[in-house]
Amino acid sequence: MTQANASRSKPLIERRSIDYIPENERHGRLYSQFTLWLGANLQITAIVTGALAVVLGGDVFWSLIGLLLGQLVGGAVMALHAAQGPKLGLPQMISSRVQFGVYGAAIPIALVCLMYLGFTATGTVLSGQAIGQLLSVSDSAGILIFAGVIVLATVFGYRMIHWIGRVASVLGIIAFVYLFSRIMVISDISQLLENRHFTWASFLLAVSLSASWQISFGPYVADYSRYLPSNTSSFKTFLAAGLGSVVGAQASMVLGVFAAAIANGQFSGREVAYIVGLGGTGATAALLYFSVAFGKVTISTLNSYGSFMCIATIISGFRGHIEVTRRQRLFFVLAIVGASTLIALLGQHSFLAAFKSFILFLLTFFVPWSAVNLVDYYFITKERYDVPALGNPNGRYGRWNMPGIIVYTIGVLVQMPFISTKLYTGPMVAHLGGVDLSWIIGLVVPSVLYYLVARRKAADAPAQMILPQSSQS
């Protein structure tokens, strides 16, 4: 069967969940990775993230430089995870069983589920604002309407998500080009760029904001590349996903920086209305509100789909098999979107401060996971996974892989003295002038520790990737 015929034969509603994708069901092209991640980042939450660099005290010039540096570092981590998808044919988090054990992988996966809930809830707040303005209803009604759309898109699954990503990319590019042109008309960009008051605290805050944004995609980016043919170039997958994400996020965050710089204190609390107001009123504003809402559909669906995959992975680990029925999928999706919608409704009026603390604190738990996963995949097992053993607690990877769990725990704890958020501030932050260096330490220390601990077990990895028997024909 040719790739084109294979693609046409796939049902609109995805049949697979967290199980291995056989070669005869692989389809798609690399450009879809670029458009998916471009569309996922050309959206209002990324604009708000960039704006935070200025809202919290940074100047325009050094905020832009810091955000770009964070994009490149975090985007590289994200894209290295993306490159695993075609080779393994598996969702990202189920592969964590190699490093943590079939039961032990539930530890980072449970934290990832909380991340998805938080991101979906914060995105739903902004989308509710846009839909409320577009349809002349309350923000709460807008939140509920948006939640219904997300349920439908998530239940349809992989192909629908990529289709939404392509449409969102086109709409996002048009809207962003227009908004940038409006900012150029109503403000003096050169004057904004001349405001250069460098401080390490503000600069590294900008780096951390964009790095955390990119790294937070790591736990699910391979979920959307796993259907690509296994002979797809890892380097090209890395570039397609990474460039799409970095270009989209940096464009959004640059817009956010400029918007916050000219807002004169009007940004916080009315983020969507202010951004749309830059573009005009009437029909133009209505189109921009629609673009904002549709742009959030992509990333909110990714988050909800990722939540479903994570919950299914946790449950399947303890049940001993990895198949999920469509009815179970619908139940999980309704529960996930329902929980995130409730959080959005309760927290919509204190959005900006809570969101900043949330995305920075995320790094504490996901940088060490990324470090362990990437070191194992690229330097220890080198793609040689035993796929059937991932569903067998008594198999090669066991129930609990204590070396991986211990290194991950150390990676979280070693960051604590250096964290600077409203949720928690470590004792070393004051001595560093308020600079948060935790995520850098959380990336380096677990990487080195895991390599030293796990390299002795490299010989225990299979000689080559072992596939399920039904997939080897």
- What mean pLDDT is predicted for residues 19-39? 84
- What mean pLDDT is predicted for residues 247-274? 81
Q: Would you place residue 8 in the very low, low, confident or very high pLDDT band (cuts 50, 70, 90)? A: very low
Tens of pLDDT, residues 428-443 = 888 777 777 888 899 9
DSSP string, 133-200: HHHT--HHHHHHHHHHHHHHHHHH-HHHHHHHHHHHHHHHHHHHHHHHHHHHHHS-HHHHHT-----H
Torsion of Cα atoms, 442 then 223 then 163 then 334, to 10°: -90
- What mean pLDDT is predicted for residues 59-65? 92
Tens of pLDDT, residues 217-240 = 888 888 888 889 989 999 999 999
Contact predicate 274/259, CB 8 Å? yes
When mean pLDDT is compared across 217-221, 354-358, 411-415, 467-471, the lowest value belongs to: 354-358
The pLDDT, as a whole number, for residue 246 is: 96
The pLDDT, as a whole number, for residue 461 is: 83
- Would you kindly state where each structural domain of the chain is located, as residue ranges? 3-363
Bridge partners of 420, per DSSP, are 425
- What mean pLDDT is predicted for residues 46-66? 88
Question: Domain spanning 3-363 has what CATH number?
Answer: 1.10.4160.10
The pLDDT, as a whole number, for residue 250 is: 95
The pLDDT, as a whole number, for residue 326 is: 67
| Residue 312 confidence (pLDDT) above 80 | no
CA distance 397 to 384: 13
The pLDDT, as a whole number, for residue 458 is: 75
Contact predicate 417/121, CB 8 Å? no
CA distance 191 to 195: 7
Instruction: For residue 390, give the amino acid letter.
Output: L
Tens of pLDDT, residues 90-125 = 888 888 889 999 899 888 888 877 777 777 787 788
The pLDDT, as a whole number, for residue 339 is: 82
pTM for this one? 0.83
Tokens standing for residue 52:
């935070």
Task: Give the H or E element holding residue 108.
Answer: helix 106-135
